[in-house]
């Protein structure tokens, strides 16, 4: 997924992944679009520049060049090839003209291993599909999750990062089971999911829902789309059964490293306050106790697959792709 040539790093990322560029985290391509302050529309017959007003404030400035896909020229299809540039200064017409003047590699893509440093970082999206291409220098500190193939029998691919994280050692967001918002407020999760009147009310269909995997309550699927989802208990069992497991320090963070038979690996950071233990949600409820759901739990000496934890507890999610 990643190719280094000289100082330029070119990588691919799913369009719904969180991505960190020069210290600012964008929540996928749709979020990047909100910050576009200057758009350059270019086709065979015309060129137009559009400046947007009331763009949300951000530590970066974003410019976008659109070229309509050939199939859309004589139809109502508005898909376009898209190139984005990121700057610490406001985007000017000059910046967009320099972007337009770059050699076209394929389908209006301006990203190549020969880009001048002054044009980086950049993103290219072909207008459809789930993948975008990102180019930058090491100093731009571009971070995003990657899909890791561990060579598992089921073919399941694991994300390199937790949901809401851009690096393997980051914790990401913490969720109560069935919660559709992350831990960005100060609400006590027990207020949301363990009030006595709620637990005793067997008419509340939302609380008594079964497994979350693949449903409208699967937060991994809600955020990333495609085939991404919360892991099942079986997928965690497969991970522990078919990988070499070791307790390591990764960029200064303690946790478990799972290495597949093909040599690829993923890292689960310890998420407890102690820094030496962690719990990760599955999307499966404990069938013997409606108030609990299954988790992968671990401490330095043992990985427990599976534990049953009260659903009001907040824990990270590690998405999988089946």
Dump the DSSP string for 224-259.
Answer: H-TTEEPPPHHHHHHHHHHSEEEEEEETTEEEEEEE
Partners of 23 in beta bridges: none
Q: What is the mean pLDDT of residues 71-77?
A: 53
The reported pLDDT for the residue numbered 77 is: 56
Tokens 């337009």 sit on residue: 100
Give kind and range of the element (H or E) at residue 75.
none
Q: Of the ranges 66-70, 211-215, 241-245, which is most confident?
A: 241-245
Nearest to 47 by CA among 93, 111, 109: 93
Cα-based angle 271, 138, 20 (whole degrees, multiple of 5):
45
| pLDDT, position 71 | 58
Contacts of 186 (CB under 8 A, 6+ apart): none
Alpha-carbon distance of 74 to 64, in angstroms, equals 23
Q: From residue 63, how far is each of 127, 134, 196, 284 by CA, in Å?
A: 16, 14, 52, 43
**Local structure of residue 43 (DSSP, 8 states):** -
DSSP string covering 140-208, please?
G--B---EEE---TT--EEESS-TT-SSTT-----EETT--S-S-S---HHHHH--HHHHT-TT-TTTT
Indicate whether 209 pLDDT > 80: no
- The mean pLDDT of 207-211, rounded to a whole number, is 64
What does the pLDDT read at residue 47?
Answer: 86
Euclidean distance between the first and final Cα of the chain, in Å? 18
pLDDT score at 118: 92
β-bridge mates for residue 80, sequence order? 68
Tell me the per-residue pLDDT of 137-173, one tens digit each, with 9 for 90 and over: 999 999 999 999 999 999 999 999 999 999 999 999 9
For residue 271, name the pLDDT band (cuts at 50, 70, 90).
Answer: confident
Is the confidence at residue 216, as pLDDT, over 70?
yes
What per-residue confidence (pLDDT) applies to 70? 74
């Amino acid at each position: 997924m990643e190719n280094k040539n000289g100082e330029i790093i070119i990588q691919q990322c799913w369009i719904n992944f969180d991505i960190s560029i020069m210290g600012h985290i964008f929540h996928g391509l749709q979020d990047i679009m909100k910050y576009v302050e200057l758009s350059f529309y270019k086709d065979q017959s015309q060129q137009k520049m559009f400046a947007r007003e009331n763009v949300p404030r951000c530590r970066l400035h974003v410019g976008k060049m659109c070229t309509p896909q050939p199939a859309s020229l004589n139809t109502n299809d508005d898909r376009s090839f898209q190139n984005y540039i990121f700057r610490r200064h406001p985007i000017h017409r000059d910046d967009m003209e320099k972007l337009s003047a770059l050699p076209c590699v394929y389908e209006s893509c301006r990203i190549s291993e020969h880009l001048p440093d002054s044009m980086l970082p950049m993103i290219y999206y072909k207008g459809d599909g789930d993948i975008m291409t990102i180019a930058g220098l090491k100093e731009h500190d571009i971070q995003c999750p990657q899909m890791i193939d561990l060579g598992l029998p089921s073919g399941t691919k694991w994300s390199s990062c937790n949901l809401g994280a851009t690096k393997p050692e980051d914790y990401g967001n913490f969720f109560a089971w069935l919660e559709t918002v992350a831990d960005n407020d100060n609400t006590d999760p027990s207020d949301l999911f363990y009030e006595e009147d709620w637990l005793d009310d067997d008419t509340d269909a939302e609380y008594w829902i079964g497994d979350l995997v693949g449903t409208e309550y699967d937060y991994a699927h809600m955020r990333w789309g495609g085939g991404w989802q919360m892991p099942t208990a079986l997928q965690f069992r497969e991970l522990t059964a078919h990988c070499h497991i070791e307790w390591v320090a990764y960029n200064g963070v303690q946790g478990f490293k799972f290495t597949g038979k093909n040599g690829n690996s993923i890292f689960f950071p310890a998420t407890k306050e102690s820094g030496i233990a962690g719990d990760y949600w599955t999307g499966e409820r404990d069938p013997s106790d409606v108030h609990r759901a299954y988790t992968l739990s671990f401490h330095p000496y043992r990985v427990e697959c599976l534990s049953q934890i009260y659903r009001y507890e907040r824990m990270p999610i590690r998405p999988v792709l089946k």
